[in-house]
Amino acid sequence: MPSLFDPIQLGAIDAPNRILMAPLTRGRAAPGFVPTEMKAEYYGQRAGAGLIIAEATGISVQGLGWPAAPGVWSEEQTEGWKLATKAVHDNGGRIILQLWHMGRIVHSDFLDGEKPISASATTAPGEAYTPTGKKPYVEARALAVEEVPGLLDDYRKATANAMAAGFDGVQIHAANGYLIDQFLRDGTNLRDDEYGGSPDNRTRLLHEVAQAVAEEAGADWTAVRLSPNGDSQGTNDSDPGSVFPLAAQKLADVGIAFLELREPGPEGTFGNTDVPKLSPEIRKVFKAPLVLNSDYTKESGQAALDSGIADAISYGRPFISNPDLVRRFREDIPLNGVAEGKGPWDFSPTWYSNGPEGYVDYPVAEENVAAE
C-alpha cells in the first residue's frame, strides 16, 4: 500500500505526496470579497502539501454570505487570486479553488433584502454571520427550474475566472449543508419536479454542475467534495445510502479527477454523531482517486490508505497551525500547539479574525528548534 509521502496522480495534477490541504474558510478578504497579499502569503507558506484545495469561494453575489470570504465572479477578485496562485507555484506547490454557493446559508442582508435560494422554501437552524453581527437565518425560496441554466452559467464563469487566475483546477463544493447538498438531501429538498423526490432526481443538479464545470475546466482539472454522513447545518437525509453512492457514480461518469469526502466523527464541526461512514460503499462505484477528510492524524490517515478505501487524506485544522505539516509528519516533529495542550484541532478566535495573528504567524519547525 502507498504511504502518505508517495506521489499520486489526481487527474492532470502530479501531487508529490498524499497529504492534501483541505479547504478552510478563514476570511481575510478585502472589501468586495477580494483576495489580498496576506492570503497569498498564507497559501504560499503551505505549498508543501501534495495539493492545496483553497478555501470555499463564492461563485456569485447570490451564492456568498460570509463576511470577508473571497469571491471569484469579478475581475478584481480574479486578479487578487493571481497573487495566491503565484505564491504557491513559486514555492513549488499546486493549488485548486473550491467553488461555493451557500444556498439558504446566505442571509438576506447580503442580498439587499432578497431571499436566498435553496432546493425548497426552508430555513436553516441557528444564526448567520452578517456584516452587522449574528442574526437568525431567513427562509429561503425554492430555486425555479427556469433559473437553473443561469446558476450553471455562474459556475462556468467562476470556473473560467479560477483558471484565468492560475489555479491548477477547481473543486465543486457539494458538501456541508450548502446549496448542492440542500438539493441532495430529502430533509431540505421537498420538491416534486425533476430536481426532487427520487435520489436520481435529487442528484441531478450536482450532475449538471459537474458537467458544466468539467466542460469549462476539463474533467481532469475538476474535483468534487461531498459530506455523505450525518447532519450538516440542518441538512440531512433519511437514507443517505441511497443518495451518495449514486451521486459518486454520476461523478465517475463525468470523469472528474478526484472525489473528496468529509466524514467527521462524533466531535465533527457540524455536530455529526454516530452515523456510519459511506466511503466503503462509495469506493465500490468511484474508481478515480478518493480523498478522505476530517479528524485524521498521521497514523489514522495512513491506516485509511492501508485499508484501500482512501488514496489520499486531506487535513484541515492541522494545516492552520502547521504550515510545514508534511515535513512534521515525515520527520515526526511535534505539531504546533500540542505541547501547550491546545491541539491544532481546537477552535481559536483568530481563525476568523481579520489580521495576520493566527493566520500567517505560525512558526515552521526550524523556528521552533531555534526558540528552544
Give exposure, 201-225, as e/b (b: 16+ Cβ within 10 Å). bbbbbbbbbbbbbbebbbbbbbbbb
Instruction: Give the separation between CA 57 and CA 45, rounded to whole angstroms.
Output: 20
Instruction: Give the separation between CA 134 and CA 55, rounded to whole angstroms.
Output: 22
Instruction: Give the separation between CA 46 and CA 326, rounded to whole angstroms.
Output: 9
Residue 43 among the catalytic residues: no
> Is the distance from CB of 88 to CB of 43 less than 8 angstroms?
yes
Considering Cα of 242, then 156, then 158, then 144, what sign does the dihedral take? negative
Instruction: Give the separation between CA 20 and CA 279, rounded to whole angstroms.
Output: 18
The gap from C-alpha 156 to its chain's centroid, in whole angstroms, comes to: 18
Residue 5, C-beta contacts closer than 8 angstroms, at least 6 positions apart: 17, 18, 19, 326, 329, 330
Burial of 134 (0-12, 13-18, 19+ CB in 10 A): exposed
Q: Residue 353: count other Cβ atoms within 10 Å of its Cβ.
A: 15
Residue 58 β-bridge partners: 71, 100
Selected catalytic residue, list 43, 155, 178, 296 = 178
Instruction: Give the separation between CA 241 and CA 79, rounded to whole angstroms.
Output: 41
Return the DSSP state at 242. Answer: G
Query: How far lies 296's CA from each of 118, 233, 304, 316, 323, in Å?
Result: 31, 22, 9, 9, 17
Residues with a known catalytic role: 178
